[in-house]
Amino acid sequence: MGNDFSRRDFIRTGALSVLGTASAVALAKTTANAAPPAQEAHTEDAHAMHGMPATVGEVNHERNGFDPTAILTDFDYGQATKLENGQTLREYSFVAVDKLIEIAPGISFPAWTYNGRIPGPTIRCTEGDRIRINFTNGSTHPHTIHFHGFHPAEMDGVPGVGPGLIEPGQSFIYEFDAEPFGLHLYHCHAFPLARHIAKGLYGAFIIDPKQGRPAVDQEFVMVMNGIDLDFDDENDIYAVNTIPFHYQNHPIQVKVGEKIRVYLVNLLEFDAINSFHLHANFFYYYPTGTSLTPTEFTDTIMQAQAQRGILEFSFKWPGTYMFHAHKTEFAELGWNGNFEVTL
Ligand SMILES: [Cu+2]
């Protein structure tokens, strides 16, 4: 251990664990000159060690300016008006701001955000709408907004093309027609790209098909992400919508038989693959949401960064059902939640 004991180990064994004894045992196991392990005694403490990892306490959502429970259903349709040609115009204001965010109780992260939240607003519109994003960079670093989907080169939000980098204090209007329908995303495309994304500059971008999708009872947005607290290009925390274990501590409320649709986007930096697993159930999966016909009926999917898809399912019985990354390391470092299903 010694110098190898990093912040990541601290987070892993300390703040994110309810179990001090588990930490001690885990650390003892990594000590090179530790005595040969004796057979582990099956005491009550040892028994408790095998429970779920969790956070103790609650982050200050109000001070953070966002709550992951609210983000689930916070679809931003912008300010809608009609253009002369009958097209719907949706206008948004995006401001890049540097902001300290409490990620886990007592642990703050100097984030870069769109509109003070991670993920940024979930843009929602219909195929063919005109999207106008009034972007102001109120941060101390140059940023952009790069959207996935069709648009002219000058609206692509990359350095050296069109307006390129938007400098601190500068503004630019990104404007284009929303297409194709599907589940997309946006993120800053300044370099180093990994840092600008890992700091929190990203969000979901939903383009509904003109005819809509079949009606469901509840829709949720889940942006899978991670936090690199000590800037060593490794995530210390994993989550959906930023706060680790949030939906474990605040289960998502649904009813038996309700049709549920989840818009799932992977914006995890530094790790190649993320995944989503639903317990005691299966879901229909629509990769990128660009077709109304699912490609798969499964209980686990994986996504590389920027991959996304729509999940549809319902629960047959009441109870508590986990959902989590099936990369167990991610699940134990925060990417774990529950649906609470009632009659
Ligand atoms: Cu940036």
55 is a domain residue? no
Whether 68 and 132 map to the same domain: the answer is yes
Q: Are residues 176 and 294 in the same domain?
A: no
The residue segments making up the domain with residue 177 are 61-208
Report the alpha-carbon distance of residue 80 to residue 78 in Å, rounded: 6
CA dist 287 and 294 (Å) reads 8
| Predicted local distance difference test score (pLDDT) of residue 39 | 61
Q: From ligand 1's centre to the CA of 144, what distance in Å?
A: 6
Cα 168 to ligand 1 centroid, rounded to whole Å: 11
- Rounded to the nearest whole angstrom, what is the distance from the C-alpha of residue 226 to the centroid of ligand 1? 16
Residue 102 within a domain: yes
CA of 121 to the centre of ligand 1 (A): 16
Domain boundary among 208, 242, 276: 208
Please indicate, yes or no, whether residues 176 and 301 belong to a single structural domain of this protein.
no
139 plus 168 within the same structural domain:
yes
Cα(209) to ligand 1 centroid in Å equals 30
Query: Would 240 be classed as within a structural domain?
Result: yes
123 and 223: one domain?
no
Q: Compute, in angstroms, the gap from residue 176 CA to the centroid of ligand 1.
A: 21
Residues 192 and 77 placed together within one structural domain of the fold: yes
- On whether both 99 and 34 belong to a single domain, the answer is no
Count up the domains in the chain and report the number.
3
Ligand 1 center from residue 146 Cα (angstroms)? 10
Residue 83 shares a structural domain with residue 34: no
Distance 195 CA to ligand 1 centre (A): 8
Are 38 and 66 in a shared domain?
no
Task: Say if residue 123 is in the same domain as residue 253.
Answer: no
Who surrounds ion ligand 1 at CB < 5 A? Answer: 143, 188, 190, 196, 201
Q: Which of 50, 65, 56 is nearest to 15 (CA)?
A: 56
Identify the pLDDT of residue 49: 73
Task: Count the residues in the chain.
Answer: 343
Of 208, 232, 264, the last residue of a domain is: 208
Query: What is the 118 CA–ligand 1 centroid distance (Å)?
Result: 13
Asked if 31 and 1 touch (Cβ cutoff 8 Å), the reply is yes
Q: Report if residue 54 sits inside a domain.
A: no
- Residue 68's pLDDT is 98
- Assigned domain for 115 exists: yes
Tell me how far the alpha carbon of residue 197 lies from the centroid of ligand 1, in angstroms: 7
**Bridge pairing between strands 218-227 and 260-266:** parallel
- The answer to whether 29 and 9 have CB atoms below 8 angstroms apart is no
The verdict on 92 and 224 lying in the same domain is: no
Q: What pLDDT, on a 0 to 100 scale, did the predictor assign at position 12? A: 52
Residues 40 and 96 in one domain: no
Distance CA 79, CA 251 (A): 31
pLDDT at residue number 9: 53
Series of mean pLDDT values for 10-residue runs along the chain (343 residues): 47 46 36 50 68 90 98 98 98 98 97 98 98 98 98 97 98 98 98 97 98 98 98 97 97 98 98 98 98 98 98 98 97 97 98
| DSSP alpha helix (H) spans, the chain | 7-10, 20-30, 44-48, 61-64, 68-71, 193-198, 246-249, 328-332
The reply to whether 56 falls in a domain is no
Assign residue 120 the CATH number of its domain. 2.60.40.420
Q: Is 76 part of any domain?
A: yes
Domain final residue, candidates 185, 208, 231:
208
- Domain-embedded: residue 185: yes
DSSP string, 199-263: TT-EEEEEEE-TT-PPP-SEEEEEEEEEE-TTSSSS-SEEEESSSTTHHHHSPEEEETT--EEEE
Distance 166 CA to ligand 1 centre (A): 9
